[in-house]
Structure 1
């Protein structure tokens, strides 16, 4: 949600609003001027100006610590290794005095190694550099391998031997001493996989305790001054991905899935990809500019080598260059490596080097490796995977009841109705406007009686009002972020003068979590869930609309050091508060706008304040796919666009695509025309209703995929190349996507399109979800752009579970029967799964769930249990199997024998969709009479 209201911001920004009224066109240039570019960001400008080979550091001999880590020191090359004295803490390097850096390598199971480089904490530093806490999960730390040996090897023409250490079967790590470099290679071929500093761009600016005469550390941008009390403290280095055709990742940017080069021959005036959480409304597509969240994780893929990944755990502002071919032409090379490669340059304002190398070699391997470090996505409640209806703002209780009744009147299901800031008493969170919402509990209970929930917004800025209990407690207890002078930081946001909760402190997060109790959050009920917005954090009168970098957090940490993680800690505290509210029984639902590595453990995110245009619809797909690659499976874009008034065709197309987002929510700004699905004419209502019904039909499949993400990290929606890693035609596709391994969806992103081309990968058949017709893989097909749907296909060899009854909400579907859609491959075989639990509690962690595998081979469909090795089912479901649809089945098969009940059934022609009107009709077994939780088989003949 964006754009300050005029009554709030008029005193501060009257000239800006006058400009908007008189000259509306320049708004884009205003947005550009509001934020810094690389040349206006000193650390970025310095790092980009460095030449290959400029790193003058070398590594001392590597020792094995008692913890099984490899430890060395980095010192200037001018200090000969042979004469380095471990007690020589101050080393002259030209005119500067520098201290040795400490390098530590740790190795973990599954082909992961961690490289840390920091200043020596034993050498009297002016302060400890910030290391991001509470992101790496405890389970990962327990997979550490204790190294007991290493070996030495001469590499190329090096004068000094390098240290070689075990990483995984088939892989080894190398610490190259002079020139300094760290890389991973395959054991047999010695082909490289990943490297750091192979181009010699490593630089580490050390903290300073005080200014020397004539030094000016302050930085200025517009009217803001950053005091920088410890001087420049940036870090930069190059990372190389070998055998890569493309690199992906580092969300959040509104750009293509495959990251474009930002430096190199023919690339002029290009900015690096910026990772700095910012409140950016009406953001532009095809831009490297940073948005609301930051995940410094990059994944490479190539047909030859496969997939690898790199992650830098750092919460400071980061800028990343993807270096185009020939970027280093004419520069001296440290070592020529005759391998296909993509070079990248990583630059951060502060923090430490805390990096992770992932060897893959398959796409899903890398995602599993990354989420083993930062955690797999939380398992959502079932209702959260259904359709959400939101607007800034539903005016009052009467408006809420009207919207709710209209969904019923038009037979459109939905699960959640959302309330924005206007529901509060004067923008004070955890309160209700007593005139507009006098009976909040009754309102929530009425929705809950239909199986529906409500979400209210809670932001991190707290109104500075002494009568407001949240402010009073936070102020008295010292729970606010401080400004550089040590006073409570005071910035402007929706309530006006505001202070911001310091979420770095575990104690303060716990206090915040307590505010969600029913006693504290009066008017809340168990069916109320939470939306965290503006948590970048957004500060309307701050530099770049955010908090000053020299603001202070718990433990004396500067805001510059943790900026990108602020929203993460706020999301964490809110999510844990909802768990606490329910005494640990029910899963929370919290939507956050800002995010960081690990956010997937706490809820969903959305792509922020987009606009109602075709380009924004198109770019939503690579944005959601990139988030999934980076661990955040539960994401989506505002359907219809937050700003502006979409034409009916655009809105319909957005619903048709949005029905396949993991997070499916319609949302709009308060200045837009109302656009609930029944307001744009009868035909458009039918089309949007059909799109929403498609999502509800597929909820069993989506819920099963969310469970897969919860256990493995593999995302719900995926790039085509994740499922078809050897098909080079898929590497650059980001307008089509896979939902799980079974469905391929192609959006329509142009107005009045008459046809659409779809590349169907692989060598198997694909079945159209609407017609049942099959098409060959490995080809591009042209289809009519029907207004009724977007192209979507089921992959041959898969089995998709559905529920086809029309209900008001997902809760009312709980006991409905299932349909299995079997898409047979050329061998007349297929397989699939379904996951079922109570849809709300944490009992699934104790084994209270049903997980069935379906296989079809040799004319027999078999259901087998893959949930419980002891054979005991701890969750009971009485749901039955209503239909089995067999796409691609030969007409020679006429009957089916169902065991163990010895029931015979006729294979007849039935509708592909239960409410599909006049067909098509496909081979169907109706009412087999078996339960989804049981073992059974169906033999056709």
Structure 2
């Protein structure tokens, strides 16, 4: 272990940005990780052997058993290499068609970690009651609907088929290898005193035996390799990782024979459609790594692991989409290659754990999102205010500084909802304890912020300063809920911001209620709580990979011990999720009734979407990081983490005004919008900018607030269906092959809004891809563009003050156009409806509203309206109806819709909220009259369109209906007579 000091650590971390560029030598490559090296060597031997390669694993046919309901198949698995080692295989077919495949070592010397799924899944999936297994000589299979799952006996393979065509194949290349537990061979040492006197000729015989043994070829070398490669301990840099359980890695090849494009396995800074890492001319030479790590200034294009890990993949083609989710919490490396442009091969190598794979049959992207959501849960519906603008830096230095920043926003009439405090708010980095010198009045400061409808977010990291005058640490120590060192006794000690620190073991259930009690804002009868806080303070969980400054790969030693005796290597990627999970519940339960918490996490795993937001970590103020941030947010949405964003401006560096403006254009179209900066950067709050940059950013922030109804409606849909808030082209247009690799533009929910942020210096125009034969309207100018049946690129203006935003024909977009200082002040503001008519003269949109802070929406307290427009016989009718009432029996919304009442309490609070303006694009001519059905002529004006060319492009005709005095919560119809 390195002789670190707190001063040395801080000196390193506070150095100038150039000194903080990612140090690749701090993090392993596959060749430096014994189990990955072994897994890749196995793949290389198989490739060299080609058609002669055969997996040693086979099904023991005599052991096959099927449950009475026929949905669960089990069997023993044998390895020809180790006939005495037993494995067990289990297949379950869920009622939605997902197939779960589990394989574990049976009656081994030790138990493999098998609890990853219990942390990721929301409940035990429901098993199908309509499955019939058919056993043949070579396989057993079950057909259900158009799907079929086939288990081949020798060698063992598992295949998911649709219409008889393979979709997912496990062990098709024979790379399955579950390293079994074994006893370490202890070399005997001889001493002169104990050495027996050899008989005559015995010495020569012994030497001959050794010679013969050395000549003997290890019969298993073709599969396992000919050396014990880092089986029992492993060195990296100055650290030694003891491996008391020996080798226990898991290798499995997963092929997608009918799908040439794959997405997922966040988090990596790469293109959305994952580049290759193996085969001919790979893009990257190392596999994608899933190992949550604190990576300063990460590369903008790399398979290196970052802060979170979600082991999910989508495999896509024009015919279908399928997915796999592997519930494994240990370090995992994934190779990607293509046998052809229509198929994909992957190889997964995990350090420990069991095989626990979920095969999701799709066949559409929406189906795969739904299937994954039923497993791990949908993204949380966040508090409405958290979709506004968040202002942060490391660090606002005092309560007066916070008040000054708020005052300056108000003076410049710029909206903002949240002010953030980084680690310097806490006395000696003892979280929950304010620095009394700089923050003498935390409650009053928070109340001053809250007086304007705003919130505060403060950081709480997982490391606790090891000192008896820190109640959080002392109570954790007394309760014995801290992570233990490799000995399994005492408390692990490492270094982080607090200096000498220990880490709470959230795998220990004894830590749960205690941790939640710390966030109570009132004094407790027993124990310590955060009485110098208020319910207007929410939480930022950072450093929860966990980050340990003096640990291997800036993290915790793998042989540390958690609750239940599991090593840290078994649970590393799950660790960060439990921290944000418990923090979210703590913030939620500090009020009665509970209020929706906001918790931002840096580290995450499958299921983290249930607890809050994430951001892409310590990015750089560069154009490359701006661009890859978009791709990372899209990828995280595939993994369920829709509430995502990258730090506006970049965490490191001092972006020039042009870059900062462009970054705000990216940020306002991220689900999570936060500006953040390193302690050594210049202050760059938007009100400090010179004109015209300040005015442009002000307009951008106002645009974000204008579109909050779009964002909240999209989040509501995501919280129900699992389809991400930001939707890549393959999700919206799954059959359009030209859109499979498009990852620099995207749609916001089902709103019809298409965004193409600018991420290149000096740009004055850009190319936008339109995937269909439909009209698209420029959001700002009403210019109309027409796509094509096979997709079409258009060129649009993109000066610095312009961000390309389009409304797809056939959409109705609800907005609120009145500038306010914060989003809670908008709750009674009227709405504007933008009706963008399709080529056929129709349009549709939705608006979802609730109180934005409580859980009353789960009891039917909301307003959910549909707006539609139809054209028939020179008449356009714009109508609205109550979707809550119409879909009351819908299973997808469960209890909320079942208990919905149009006259619910929340609807009463906004019963006077009206539509103050309706803008109709694409009428094609001036109307003869515009009326509310059954009423008088309305006030309206019409701006005629201007044709630009013979392709149907130009400026659309725009009808503006002024204050029709129709209410949001009531049904109505407006009739436009042409």
Question: Is TM > 0.5 for Structure 1 vs Structure 2?
Answer: yes
Indicate the residue corresponding to 1:55 in structure 2.
Answer: 55
Q: Report SS of the residue matched to 2:406.
A: helix
Q: Give matches, 1:27-106, under 5 Å.
A: 28=21, 31-50=23-42, 51-52=45-46, 53-61=53-61, 62-65=64-67, 68-76=70-78, 78=80, 93=81, 96=82, 98-106=84-92
1:684-736 deviation per Cα after TM superposition (whole angstroms, max 9, x unaligned): 11111111111101000100000000000011101112111111111111111
> Does residue 498 of structure 1 match 2:501?
yes
Q: Report SS of the residue matched to 1:639.
A: coil
Indicate the residue corresponding to 1:821 in structure 2.
Answer: 834
Choose which of 234, 240, 243 in structure 1 pairs with 2:249: 234
In 2: Cα distance, 1:66 partner to 1:516 partner: 49
How far apart are residue 280 of structure 1 and its match? 0.4
> Does residue 260 of structure 1 match 2:279?
no
Q: Report SS of the residue matched to 1:654.
A: helix
Distance 1:315 1:905, change over 3 A: same
Indicate the residue corresponding to 1:805 in structure 2.
Answer: 818
Indicate the residue corresponding to 1:470 in structure 2.
Answer: 472
Contact 2:13/2:20 (8 A) holds in 1: no
Choose which of 907, 911, 934 in structure 1 pairs with 2:940: 907
> Does residue 833 of structure 1 match 2:825?
no
Distance 1:68 1:920, change over 3 A: closer
1:816-842 deviation per Cα after TM superposition (whole angstroms, max 9, x unaligned): 001111110111100110000001100
Question: Which one has a bigger Cα radius of gyration?
Answer: 2
In 1: Cα distance, 2:490 partner to 2:54 partner: 42
How far apart are residue 269 of structure 1 and its match? 6.9
Contact 2:423/2:429 (8 A) holds in 1: yes
Indicate the residue corresponding to 1:749 in structure 2.
Answer: 759
How far apart are residue 65 of structure 1 and its match? 2.7
> Does residue 110 of structure 1 match 2:120?
no
Q: Report SS of the residue matched to 1:60.
A: strand
In 2: Cα distance, 1:251 partner to 1:624 partner: 9
How far apart are residue 584 of structure 1 and its match? 4.3
Q: Report SS of the residue matched to 2:659.
A: helix
Distance 1:911 1:384, change over 3 A: farther
Distance 1:682 1:780, change over 3 A: same
> Does residue 488 of structure 1 match 2:464?
no
Indicate the residue corresponding to 2:116 in structure 1.
Answer: 132
Distance 1:269 1:423, change over 3 A: closer
In 2: Cα distance, 1:358 partner to 1:751 partner: 41
1:413-438 deviation per Cα after TM superposition (whole angstroms, max 9, x unaligned): 00000000100111001111111111
Structure 1 gap ranges (5+): 1-5, 79-92, 154-159, 327-338, 913-918
In 2: Cα distance, 1:268 partner to 1:298 partner: 18
Q: Give matches, 1:725-736, under 5 Å.
A: 725-736=734-745
In 1: Cα distance, 2:295 partner to 2:120 partner: 29
Indicate the residue corresponding to 1:89 in structure 2.
Answer: none
Q: Report SS of the residue matched to 1:678.
A: helix
How far apart are residue 97 of structure 1 and its match? 6.1
> Does residue 774 of structure 1 match 2:784?
yes
Q: Give matches, 1:380-395, under 5 Å.
A: 380-395=382-397
In 1: Cα distance, 2:552 partner to 2:442 partner: 38
1:99-145 deviation per Cα after TM superposition (whole angstroms, max 9, x unaligned): 2111111111222111111112xx26423533215434445x35321
Q: Give matches, 1:395-410, under 5 Å.
A: 395-410=397-412
How far apart are residue 510 of structure 1 and its match? 2.1
Q: Report SS of the residue matched to 1:322.
A: strand
Choose which of 106, 109, 126 in structure 2 pairs with 1:143: 126
Indicate the residue corresponding to 1:658 in structure 2.
Answer: 667
Q: Report SS of the residue matched to 2:464.
A: strand
Q: Report SS of the residue matched to 1:325.
A: strand
Contact 2:446/2:536 (8 A) holds in 1: yes
Over aligned residue pairs, what C-alpha RMSD do you find?
Answer: 2.3
In 1: Cα distance, 2:20 partner to 2:427 partner: 32
Q: Could you state the TM-score of these two structures normalised by the residue count of structure 2? A: 0.87
Indicate the residue corresponding to 2:587 in structure 1.
Answer: 578
In 2: Cα distance, 1:68 partner to 1:460 partner: 46
In 2: Cα distance, 1:417 partner to 1:8 partner: 32
Indicate the residue corresponding to 1:289 in structure 2.
Answer: 304
1:155-189 deviation per Cα after TM superposition (whole angstroms, max 9, x unaligned): xxxxx4211113x42111111111210011124xx
Indicate the residue corresponding to 2:896 in structure 1.
Answer: none
Contact 1:493/1:540 (8 A) holds in 2: yes
In 2: Cα distance, 1:25 partner to 1:813 partner: 43
Q: Report SS of the residue matched to 2:515.
A: helix
Indicate the residue corresponding to 1:331 in structure 2.
Answer: none
Q: Report SS of the residue matched to 2:116.
A: coil
Contact 1:431/1:522 (8 A) holds in 2: no
How far apart are residue 893 of structure 1 and its match? 1.5
Q: Report SS of the residue matched to 1:45.
A: helix
1:251-309 deviation per Cα after TM superposition (whole angstroms, max 9, x unaligned): 00011001011011223870000000000010001100000000000001111x22110
Indicate the residue corresponding to 2:578 in structure 1.
Answer: 569
Indicate the residue corresponding to 1:336 in structure 2.
Answer: none
1:671-690 deviation per Cα after TM superposition (whole angstroms, max 9, x unaligned): 00000001120211111111
Number of residue-to-residue matches in the alignment: 884
> Does residue 208 of structure 1 match 2:194?
no
Q: Report SS of the residue matched to 1:144.
A: coil
> Does residue 620 of structure 1 match 2:617?
no
In 2: Cα distance, 1:593 partner to 1:385 partner: 18
How far apart are residue 148 of structure 1 and its match? 5.7
Indicate the residue corresponding to 2:690 in structure 1.
Answer: 681
Q: Which moved more, 1:287-296 or 1:724-733?
A: 724-733
Q: Report SS of the residue matched to 2:429.
A: coil
In 2: Cα distance, 1:783 partner to 1:148 partner: 54
Contact 1:390/1:419 (8 A) holds in 2: yes
In 2: Cα distance, 1:269 partner to 1:572 partner: 34
Contact 1:893/1:907 (8 A) holds in 2: no
Indicate the residue corresponding to 1:81 in structure 2.
Answer: none
Contact 2:72/2:93 (8 A) holds in 1: no
Choose which of 788, 798, 801 in structure 2 pairs with 1:788: 801
Q: Which moved more, 1:313-322 or 1:859-868?
A: 859-868
Q: Give matches, 1:338-737, under 5 Å.
A: 340-485=342-487, 486-519=489-522, 520-737=529-746
Q: Report SS of the residue matched to 2:289.
A: strand
Choose which of 863, 867, 874 in structure 1 pairs with 2:880: 863
Distance 1:507 1:47, change over 3 A: same
Indicate the residue corresponding to 1:934 in structure 2.
Answer: 970
How far apart are residue 245 of structure 1 and its match? 2.6
How far apart are residue 810 of structure 1 and its match? 0.3
In 1: Cα distance, 2:368 partner to 2:282 partner: 30
In 2: Cα distance, 1:193 partner to 1:386 partner: 42
How far apart are residue 924 of structure 1 and its match? 1.1
Contact 1:60/1:72 (8 A) holds in 2: no
